[in-house]
Amino acid sequence: MLVAALGGVALSIGIPLVTRAIIDGPVTAGDLSALLPLCGLALALGVLEAVLVWARRWVQSGAVLGLETTLRHDLYARLQALPMAFHTRWQSGQLLSRATTDLSAIRRFSGFGLLFLLTNAVQLVATTAVLLHLYWPLGLVVAAASVPIVWLSMRFEKRYVVVSRAVQDEQGDLATLAEEGAVGIRVVKSFGRAEHVSRQYEQAAGRLLETSLTKVRLAARFWTFLGVIPNLAVVVVLALGAVGVGRGTLTPGELVAFITLMLSLVWPVSSLGVILAMSQEAMTAAARILEIFDTEPDIVGGTRVLERPRGHLRFEGVGFAFPDAPQEPVLRDLDLEVRPGETVALVGATGSGKTLLTALVPRLWDVTSGRVTLDGVDVRELRLENLRALVATAFEEPTLFSMSARENLTLGRSDATDAEVAQALEVAQAGFVHDLPYGLDTRIGEQGMALSGGQRQRLALARAVLARPAVLVLDDTLSALDVHTERLVEDALRRVLGATTGLVVAHRASTVLLADRVALLADGRVTHVGTHHELLETVPAYRELLAADAGTPEDVPA
């Protein structure tokens, strides 16, 4: 690509020199026999230049699009590798703008700006040198015109990079508001806050508009100066060149060649503003993307693989504190054992760390002290792919993707047969999918917005069951179900939990009854472990927690 571009620069300089030879030679001497070869040479040079331009663009398109594709792949892979701590700090709109707008800015500069920044600089230097050689007084005029251009470019670059970063950050903020407005449309409508949300969006759009206009005004002033300076130089060259021809110090052919070469510099100079603007946008985009690449994932998999997992889960002296609050641990010196094939229910007040404890098993978060083991192996020693294939989680707030119901179900196990899918749907009482317009092939929309809360939970539960994990984690998965459906799901779950290790976050007494044992969490520790009946009889705090859900202590099933 570079060879073709530099070859084109050489040819663009060579053609005016051939023109000079034609005018000062055959045309001046009236020798028509020598005219044809020189014209043929000029034509050949022009055709060759066109071929080189085609070759450059052909190579360029594949290289630049390939670069953007690779960057996009690497960025997405990096986002997947980064821990939950990173994703809790970053707005999704900011990540989205980096994956779209910023990568496009880098592609545009790589495909246009970078190449022409180099070739135009080479053309400016080489052409100026040729002009000085042809007629040094006029060459000095051209060289002098470059001084204000360089000075203006340096000033422009410093100011433009600041406003360019502001525009890109505000685009990310606007993308966040747009996404939140779309995903939360039901909440917005139910509270009648459409006007409030629209006003927030319009204010952010207004800020982006003002910043963008500042950017445009800055670029417009710079580009205006870049357009004026070369034209003034052309006027001066024409005047001095005419004087030189009149005095005989400059031939007509040299003047034509000089003017032609001079005009060939108009594009490199006038495009300098666009190229510098693109370079600043690309530099800012690269800096924003590097903020993601420079974030080192603190959850890195080990090298061990469990070939035949039994599902023996242990929490040994586990402690955890969030990175932004290291002095406020959520879990403290917690110990708990879940034997293979056993189901343990986690019960505790809101904020006691139940959901966090389950997230430590697949390493969505990592312990800050102690360890979590699976079959005696610290989960930090296992390959992440292996660990997360052994542990399946159904969350209270399920996440469904804008794909078919079947694709959502088989997300954790793509090789599942139709019979296995049907069995998982039966366990989760999710047979409603067959009543959708296209059955399992129906696209359920982003976040499963077309489904009710209970339907989303049942589909997410079926997805977890279908994965056939060694450890099944249920994070209050049945909270949105009605009493009748909950009972049917619990009856089916008992069969599933009998063949796997289960860790169940429970708020309802009916869910607790799924478990073989119950662990009560308080103040970041497991304070009591036993059967439901034992804790109900001996632990008042446990009885009070379940009574708060059931209504009265007498309603708690024994």
158 and 232 share one domain: yes
Task: Note the pLDDT of residue 197.
Answer: 86
**252 and 365 belong to one structural domain:** no
Whether 122 is covered by a domain: the verdict is yes
Q: What are the pLDDT digits (tens) for 279-328?
A: 888 888 899 899 999 988 888 888 899 988 898 999 999 999 988 887 88
Q: What is the pLDDT of residue 549?
A: 59
Do 245 and 332 belong together in one domain? no
Q: In the numeric block, which tokens belong to residue 174?
A: 């606007």
CA-wise closest residue to 384 among 413, 412, 363, 369? 363
Q: Are residues 51 and 94 in the same domain?
A: yes
Q: Which residues pair with residue 337 across a beta bridge? A: 314
Burial readout 133-163 (b: 16 or more C-beta within 10 A, e: otherwise): ebbeebbebbbebbeebeebbeebeeebbeb
Phi and psi, residue 222, nearest 5°: -65, -45
Residues 193 and 338 grouped into a single domain: no
Query: 362 exposed, middle or buried (CB, 10 Å; 0-12, 13-18, 19+)?
Result: buried
Amino acid identity for residue 21 in this structure: A
Q: Is residue 325 situated within a structural domain?
A: yes
Q: pLDDT tens, 233-257?
A: 778 888 888 888 888 788 888 888 8
Q: Are residues 275 and 327 in the same domain?
A: no
284 plus 402 within the same structural domain = no
* 139 found inside a domain: yes
Whole-number pLDDT of residue 480? 61
Domain-embedded: residue 503: yes
Domain count, the chain: 2
Boundary (domain end) residue, out of 293, 328, 347? 293
pLDDT of residue 378: 94
pLDDT for residue 550: 53
Residues contacting 19, CB < 8 A, separation 6+: 42, 253, 256, 257, 260
Token pair of 78 as six digits: 């990096």
Phi then psi dihedrals of residue 392, to 5 deg:
-120, 140
Q: Is residue 280 part of a domain?
A: yes
214-220: long-range contacts (C-beta < 8 A, 24 or more apart)? 214/163, 215/160, 215/163, 215/164, 215/167, 218/156, 218/159, 218/160, 218/163, 219/156, 219/160, 219/273, 219/277
CB atoms within 10 A of CB 291: 12
User: Using an 8 Å Cβ cutoff, are 443 and 180 in contact?
Assistant: no
36, 82: one domain:
yes
Alpha carbons 185 and 197: distance in angstroms, whole number:
10
Residues 123, 91: contact at Cβ < 8 Å? no
Query: For residue 444, is it within any domain?
Result: yes
Q: Does 377 map to a domain?
A: yes
Same domain, 344 and 242: no
Per-residue pLDDT of the chain (558 residues; tens, 9 = 90+): 888 888 988 888 888 888 888 888 888 777 777 788 888 888 999 899 899 989 988 998 888 889 999 999 999 999 888 888 888 888 888 888 888 888 998 998 988 888 888 888 888 888 888 888 887 887 788 778 777 877 887 777 778 888 888 888 888 888 888 877 877 776 777 778 888 888 989 999 999 999 999 988 988 888 787 778 877 877 888 888 888 888 878 888 888 888 888 878 777 777 777 788 788 888 888 998 999 999 888 888 888 999 888 989 999 999 999 888 878 899 999 999 999 989 898 998 888 888 899 999 999 899 999 999 999 999 999 999 899 889 988 887 778 888 888 998 898 888 888 898 898 888 888 888 888 888 889 888 766 667 877 888 888 888 888 888 889 888 877 766 666 777 777 777 777 777 789 898 887 777 788 888 999 998 889 999 999 888 988 888 888 888 765 544 544 555
Range of the domain at 380: 313-552
The structure's pTM equals 0.71
What is the C-alpha to C-alpha distance for residues 188 and 466, in angstroms, rounded to an integer? 34
Q: Which CATH number is 406's domain given?
A: 3.40.50.300
Q: Is 557 within the bounds of a domain?
A: no
Look at residue 331 in the predicted model and tell me its pLDDT.
92
Query: 383 and 246, same structural domain?
Result: no
Q: Which residues have a Cβ under 8 Å from the Cβ of 51 and sit 6 or more positions away?
A: none
Which pLDDT value is given to residue 548? 67
277 and 340, same domain (yes or no): no
Distance (Å, rounded) from C-alpha 80 to C-alpha 503? 25
Tell me the CATH number at 232. Answer: 1.20.1560.10
Which of 224, 258, 293 corresponds to the end of one domain?
293
Q: Are 386 and 253 in the same domain?
A: no
